[in-house]
Amino acid sequence: MLTIFALWIVLCLLSFGLPVLRHVSMKNAARKPWRLEMHENYFPNVSILLPTYNESKVIGFKLKNLNMQEYPSELMEILIVDSNSDDETIDVVDDFIEKNPSMGNRIKVLSENDKKGKSAALNLALQHSQNDIVIVSDADCFWPPDILAKSLPFLSDGSVGAISGPKILLNPQQSWVTRAEDLYLNIMNRTKLGESKTISTPFFEGGFSAFKRGALTKFDPYSTGSDDCGTVLDLLKRKYRAILVPEARFYTTFPMTWRGRMSIKIRRANQLVRVFSRYLRLMLKRQIKTARGIILQNCLVFFLCPVIFALLLPLTFYLLIGFPLFALLFLGFLIPKVRVYLFEAVQNYTIIFLSLFSTIFKTKSLAWKQPEDRLLLTREMLQQHNLI
């Protein structure tokens, strides 16, 4: 009994202790000052790349949001890449251009004959951009008016090749699902900020990510989901830093249902497992020479911890069923706040483990239909945050 219980404690410490230690370390690092040489009056020419597919319900709001940007209009262009939408997306764009001719002169619409994925659309737009900075955004993500003026100076440092911002929910209190996601995002944003102040973060959100044109060769085909993590890998190989800055925060809605949340998390887990597998291979080949410690920590969390958790789970059930005293102690430990964090950890580990399994054995990737979270967006939400 003591041997089994000791093994259970060791597995708990490995599966949950490592992520906790990592988070505490990055939380402390996030409090430290930046080690950057920035120029506040940094106003480069920017190209905003906006991939679309059936975005008629949100594209009008997005264009109004971009029109509010407090940035010199002559330095900004917008490249919309539509992947053969079968709704009124292009009609809404054309109508906006007609009603806003001053901004319309800065909008260029590119069309694909087929839907080839986000990275393909971005690479098409990249071919038509010659500006100093390339910024990626999703149609359902909205920026504060001062985001460019406040965040782009971070790119004036010679070591920084790309920046991204923290995702903020427009509907954090709409359901227990959105509250759980808001809690998760707060943890991840602090972790990514700590990684950034240490050296770099491999996690990049698609709602706002800005790249130096000279550091960016192409958008990675693994960046087909909601972020640009695969593209960041190429920057780290070339010894550029990729950082999250709080000044680049952006806003979006999130599904209210557990099924909708799982759809997003499964898709993201599939992508991250593939990306971190590439990170690990490149590290073993010594092709990545910067942020190695950060990448190794993430590889442990993504690869080792889920496997240990898979061993911990049946042992926990065995102890719960076979030893009533252990069950009482275990249930007594689950105070409300701990219960929330434990539920999140168990859920995430399960998803990552299944994604690892499907990747290793080359089974069909886990995926659910994309949730209709765009339907939750309202004009009032955007006006409340001064986004339109």
> What proportion of the chain, given as a percentage, has pLDDT over 90?
50
In the structure, what pLDDT confidence band is assigned to residue 11 with cuts at 50, 70 and 90? very high
What would the pLDDT profile of 149-162 be if each residue is shown by its tens digit? 999 999 999 999 99
pLDDT at 285: 86
Average pLDDT over residues 336-344: 74
pLDDT at 291: 84
pLDDT at 371 over 60: no
User: Which comes out higher in pLDDT, residue 263 or 251?
Assistant: 251
Tell me the pLDDT of the chain averaged across its residues: 87
- Which residue from 67, 77, 81 is spatially nearest to 107, judged by alpha carbons? 77
What would the pLDDT profile of 37-95 be if each residue is shown by its tens digit? 999 889 999 999 999 999 999 999 999 999 999 999 899 999 999 998 989 999 999 99
pLDDT at 197 over 50: yes
Sorted by sequence, the CB contacts under 8 Å of residue 123 that are 6+ apart come out as 218, 219
Q: Which fold has domain 32-257+378-384?
A: Spore Coat Polysaccharide Biosynthesis Protein SpsA; Chain A (3.90.550)
Cβ atoms within 10 A of the Cβ of 198, count? 18
Average pLDDT over residues 307-323: 87
User: Which of 98-112, 135-149, 250-264, 326-340 bottoms out in mean pLDDT, i.e. has the lowest?
Assistant: 326-340
The answer to whether residues 248 and 371 touch, using CB atoms and an 8 Å cutoff, is no
Average pLDDT over residues 278-304: 86
Which helix (H) or strand (E) element contains residue 243? strand 241-244
- Which residue from 239, 197, 232 is spatially nearest to 218, judged by alpha carbons? 232
pLDDT at 369 over 50: no
Looking at the chain, how many residues does it have?
388
pLDDT at 108 over 50: yes
What would the pLDDT profile of 215-232 be if each residue is shown by its tens digit? 888 887 655 444 567 788
What would the pLDDT profile of 344-353 be if each residue is shown by its tens digit? 888 888 888 8
User: Which comes out higher in pLDDT, residue 195 or 329?
Assistant: 195
Distance of CA 359 to the CA centre of its chain: 20
pLDDT at 275 over 60: yes
pTM exceeds 0.85 for this model: yes
pLDDT at 105 over 60: yes
**Residue 6: exposed, middle, or buried by beta-carbon count in 10 A (0-12, 13-18, 19+)?**
exposed
Distance CA 152, CA 159 (A): 14
Distance CA 150, CA 166 (A): 14
pLDDT at 1 over 80: no
pLDDT at 224: 47
